[in-house]
Chains A and B, each alone.
Chain A
């Protein structure tokens, strides 16, 4: 019988813990913070470009500048509240505090708004939630982007506030100090049909509609349905089954095996490394077709 007493047990426990950490560090597997490199699009012409959907609350504005070439100081200023100036080094999750209690019920300006803003700024696709809004400063900044469609931005105005984007035209004509979408993300620009035409908005169509992973636009930002059953980010497989779709139909449309009933389709797509927007329209069409 090999016996271990208290003191040796304490030593073994601590040495194993600390030794294990040292070994994990030595082999490069002991990261205690999340990487600030967003996941990249895996397919289509945008393959290799950062995905705005992966921006997290722990990102600072500086992290966003590094990843997406969106100037940190201007972005932080654009999102600052009337009495709450944001530091470019602060986390975007701070927005939840800045805008808490001052927005109409059901609206939120948080990390999701930053994803949308970056998407609009860069022309990279992102599927915005319905009812997404942006602060006036952010809309005003976006309005200065070359070729930006002021009309496309209107849907993101906070109800009851002055319409900042109405001044889009004169602002757009003013000198622009920020990187143009094409310069920031050339592939995004070339992948967007709209951006190929100089007279057409560069960022708005792909951003407000979420575009697609392969670079094709997909209509307007508001989901249009003929069945009254909208496929949105929160739609679960259970919803799709309840609407009459079969597992085989869903798999054929999305390109990957469906998850459990409670899992949202968007989360499953993210886990499979596929952009939700690449099949959303087709899925919506299938839902509309199946509807009684």
Chain B
């Protein structure tokens, strides 16, 4: 976290805005999941979320159903039209802004991030640096293996095969008795791992994160560093939850970026308009007056 010479940098508006949205979506998803579970037990539920289920509001269901929808015109069991619609909406957002679903909306990502804040307090600068780079980098591609496996198995079986391993499902259903042992175990490992590594499931295993991450390669609005005003303090690198070296990038094309904007000049970067979310060329001459005092 960058600091001014006068001491601690005050909490930025951007952080509160994103945190508020994360809390909103976590509460919404928890409400839907709880409502569904109570409904199955015959307990009266809230009418405004009646009928919705965890599967119905998961855009990944739309992704894994794509093949069956295209070839047979039907959806994978437990997947509904709403999943497809949300999948398309998420796709539009990803093409435009990158994986904002991961950085702003996904409740499992948010929970990992919040547990990570405890780890950050416990381990200070060592936090999120425990995995050696030689192991960490290849492991980052494991999630594509998971994505391919989940997609293939879903196509072959016509079932939502990932549910049994899904920590997202386990997070909201751990109290219902419907969680498979593997899913529960992966959730526990994810939560414990979050104390040492920021967003471990997102980094190494999330198939939907892998799918979203592909759009980082050609998204319209990307994270851009204006080299002419950059002071190479590496504050952006230090704050990045996904360990991306923003300070050596022009435009961040790393497949792991989650568009959280923590690296930008609205948050960690101490220089105004130097690390930004933007479309077009970042090679803009900035007047020295725009630089913030460091």
Residues of A within 8 A of B (CB): 1-7, 9-10, 12-14, 16-17, 20-21, 24, 29-34, 56, 87, 90-91, 93, 259-260, 262-263, 267, 270-273
Q: Is the CB of A32 within 8 A of B57?
A: yes
Q: How far is the CB of A196 from chain B (nearest CB, A)?
A: 34
A21/B85 contact (C-beta < 8 A), A33-B53, A271-B158 known: yes
Contacts A4-B278, A13-B21, A267-B158 given; 20 further ones with Cβ under 8 A? A1-B278, A1-B281, A2-B279, A3-B277, A6-B14, A6-B264, A9-B100, A9-B261, A10-B18, A12-B97, A16-B93, A17-B93, A20-B85, A20-B86, A30-B82, A33-B80, A34-B80, A90-B42, A271-B68, A271-B74
Chain A residues within an 8 Å CB radius of B52: 32-33
Q: A24-B82, A260-B156 are in contact. Are A2 and B278 (CB under 8 A)?
A: yes
Q: A residues within 8 A CB of B259?
A: 9
Q: Is the CB of A30 within 8 A of B85?
A: yes
- 6 closest A-B pairs by beta carbon, nearest first, are A20-B89, A6-B14, A24-B85, A32-B56, A31-B81, A3-B278
Within 8 A of A (CB), among B133-167: 156-158
**Cβ of A270: which chain B residues have Cβ within 8 Å of it?**
158
Shortest Cβ gap from A50 to chain B (Å) = 16
Return A10 CB to nearest CB of chain B, in Å. 5
Q: Chain B residues with Cβ under 8 A from A90's Cβ?
A: 42
A260-B156, A271-B158 in contact; A10/B21 too (CB < 8 A)?
yes
- Which residues of chain A are within 8 angstroms of B86 by Cβ–Cβ distance? 17, 20-21
B276 within 8 A of A: yes
Contact B266 A6 (CB under 8 A): yes
Residue in B40, B81, B276 whose beta carbon sits within 8 Å of that of A29 in the complex: B81
CB distance B42 to A32 under 8 Å?
A: no
A259 and B277 contacting across the interface, CB-CB below 8 Å = no
Chain A residues near B156: list those with CB within 8 A: 259-260, 262-263
Which residue of A1, A6, A30, A34 contacts B18 across the interface (Cβ within 8 Å)?
A6
B72 neighbours in A (Cβ, 8 Å): 271-273
Q: Given A32-B56, A33-B80, A20 and B221 touching (CB < 8 A)?
A: no
Question: Which residue of chain A lies nearest to B74 when distances are taken between CB atoms in the complex?
Answer: A271
Contact assessment for A1 and B97 in the assembled complex, using a CB-CB cutoff below 8 Å? no
Q: Is B287 an interface residue (CB 8 A)?
A: no
The answer to whether B277 and A9 have CB atoms under 8 Å apart is yes
Within the assembled complex, what's the spacing in Å between the Cα atoms of A273 and B259?
43
- Complex Cα spacing A90 to B39, Å: 10
Measured between beta carbons, the chain B residues less than 8 angstroms from A14 are: 21
Q: Which residue of A lies closest to B88 (CB)?
A: A20
Quick check: A29 and B85 within 8 Å, CB to CB?
A: yes
Whole-angstrom distance between the Cβ of B71 and the nearest chain A Cβ: 8
Pairwise interchain contact A10-B284, C-beta atoms closer than 8 A: no
Instruction: Report chain B residues within 8 Å CB of A21.
Output: 82, 85-86, 89
Q: Per-residue CB proximity of B51-76 to A under 8 Å, as 1/0?
A: 11100110000000000100010100
| Smallest beta-carbon distance A242→chain B, Å | 17
B contact residues around A259 at 8 Å (CB): 156
Q: Is the CB of A267 within 8 A of B157?
A: yes
The answer to whether B84 has its CB under 8 Å from any CB of chain A is yes
A1 touches B42 (CB 8 A): no
**B162: shortest Cβ distance to chain A, in Å?**
16
* B23: Cβ under 8 A from any A Cβ: no
Residues of A within 8 A of B257 (CB): none
A236: nearest chain-B partner, CB-CB: B156
Name the residue on B nearest A56 (C-beta): B77
Contact, CB under 8 Å: B261 / A6? yes
Q: Which residues of A contact B278 (CB under 8 A)?
A: 1-4
Q: How far is the CB of B89 from chain A (nearest CB, A)?
A: 4
Given contacts A20-B92, A21-B85, contact A32 B17 (CB under 8 A): no
The reply to whether A13 and B80 form a contact with Cβ atoms under 8 Å apart is: no
Contact with A along B86-110 (1 / 0, CB 8 A): 1011001100110010001100000
